[in-house]
Structure 1
């Protein structure tokens, strides 16, 4: 069977394993392209004998207009698609208001379960190298999951909560670990280089270097929301 691709330029299709996400940009309250894309997906799945689980399908609306209109529910195969305020996408919790409090809370909940094991290993007199490896594999890996995506926009309170977990691990082991900010500052340029070199990446067109070749151009925005919620582009 042929691979399904987006039929409208205002839509973006994100596919990973057996998960497919349709992202539609609605302009002037015209949802026709977005709705046609969803129906196109349903027909394609039916034609290629791929069962589409409508019960697990969710719809998330991001709308910051002062006067929001009425959004008619999406129907797939006669079933209404559930509309949610947030959903988990590839391990990251995305909220309709584009805040990262829910995502941070989820990471903290997982990370708070690990210091107990770290204390047990410390009492067993394991070497500092083993304790550091355990921290990086079981705590830092959780706290910094997809950090280049969300850390620049999370609140100050969330950042402090994440850093407190690092400080707890340092007190237990007696070692010094990189701060969450330091980890993010290291990974962002590396991720940016990877996207900039990969012309097939969906975000490749967003990365354009200045004439100096050391910094990326800031993405243009008609409002101050983007500037307020994101930090300056990282240096190469």
Structure 2
């Protein structure tokens, strides 16, 4: 692999694709599209959150290689990837028992860094057909955002049908029973929206959904998300009390707090904290204050963490090393403003 990685690929132009380089970018892109469009008159947004059955296990290596060749990837590197994906021995070991070895020539190894990149490249041609729709992808999570006006859902429904056809042509099984839809309509004279149908099955409409770790609701409030984070963080206060009773020093207690409680409360904080209500902020801060009393030392508030230099630096997407690296992986024509 080392002898091939420095060879420049022969780029070919491809259709625009919106693939965030990090989960945070995916959440912000989705919400930004919705919030910006909802400012228009007589408009609403429908979001389709798809679910694939064993997406990484259904990759056909030769089909992937054909797409890599169309993207202009070096032939030697393509052959190396094909060799990596085919003829893989696999067995299962539980304790002292080991199963017989099975050779696999489909799918990509779970937990492999390369598998995530290959899955992204495999779906690079899954793009929106209409300008009023946007397809946002991160790993095997694919979201269709339909920007609708004047109750005309023709393009959105055609986009969803085209996505289902694309999945069938690329050996991806669309799990309609786990696919959900959220409708964001703040118009005074809003009408009942007909259910979306995929593969002759109706897609369930929900009032909230957990998307890349963040609860998104149809009314675009963050109470559901903050209550979920608060409940999860408060469960760890019990263990903090147990450590306090064991006479552990404050530095160790503070480290435990930051790893198990603060990390939960600040998960994707740049996405939702700015629009939280005073009641939601108070609920979250209660957990911080309780932990500070247990430890016996002051702890930074969530607002202080949000305004810290480290968090502000993450907001500078154009300076993110991961973002720059991701941009170098795609040929010209694959970048979009959401990227």
Give the TM-score of the pair, scaled to structure 2: 0.57
Q: Does 1:125 align with 2:247?
A: yes
Larger Rg: 2
In structure 2, the CA distance between the partners of 1:195 and 1:68, relative to structure 1 (3 Å rule), is farther
Closer, same or farther: CA 77–14 of 1 in aligned 2, 3 Å: same
Structural mapping, 1:1-236, within 5 Å: 1=63, 2=67, 3=124, 4-186=126-308, 188-195=311-318, 198=323, 200=335, 203=338
Q: Which of 92-101 and 193-202 deviates more?
A: 193-202
Farther off after superposition, 174-183 or 53-62: 174-183
- Give the number of the structure with larger relative contact order, counting CA–CA contacts within 8 Å between residues 6 or more apart: 2
Q: Secondary structure at the match of 2:145?
A: strand
1:195/1:203 contact within 8 Å kept? no
**Alpha-carbon deviations, 1:81-120, whole Å to 9, x = none?**
0011111101111110001111111111101111111111
Do the aligned partners of residues 41 and 31 (structure 1) sit closer, same or farther apart at CA in structure 2, a change above 3 Å counting? same
Give yes or no for contact 1:14–1:20 (8 Å, CA) kept in 2.
yes
Tell me how many residue pairs correspond in the alignment: 204
Deviation (angstroms), 1:121: 1.1
Once superposed, what is the RMSD of the aligned Cα atoms? 1.8
Tell me, what secondary structure is at the counterpart of 1:25? strand
Does structure 2 retain, via aligned residues, the 8 Å contact 1:73–1:81? yes
CA distance in 2, matches of 1:195, 1:9: 25
- Structure 2 residue runs of 5 or longer lacking an equivalent are 1-62, 68-123, 328-334
Q: TM-score, normalised by structure 1?
A: 0.81
Contact 1:195 1:201 in 2 (8 A): no
Residue aligned with 1:5, SS: coil
Decide whether the 8 Å contact of 1:147 with 1:184 is kept in 2: yes
| 2-structure distance, mates of 1:8, 1:137 | 44
CA distance in 1, matches of 2:318, 2:241: 39
C-alpha offsets along residues 2-30 of structure 1, whole Å, 9 cap, x if unaligned?
53112222222121222211111112222
Partner-residue secondary structure (3-state), 2:205: strand
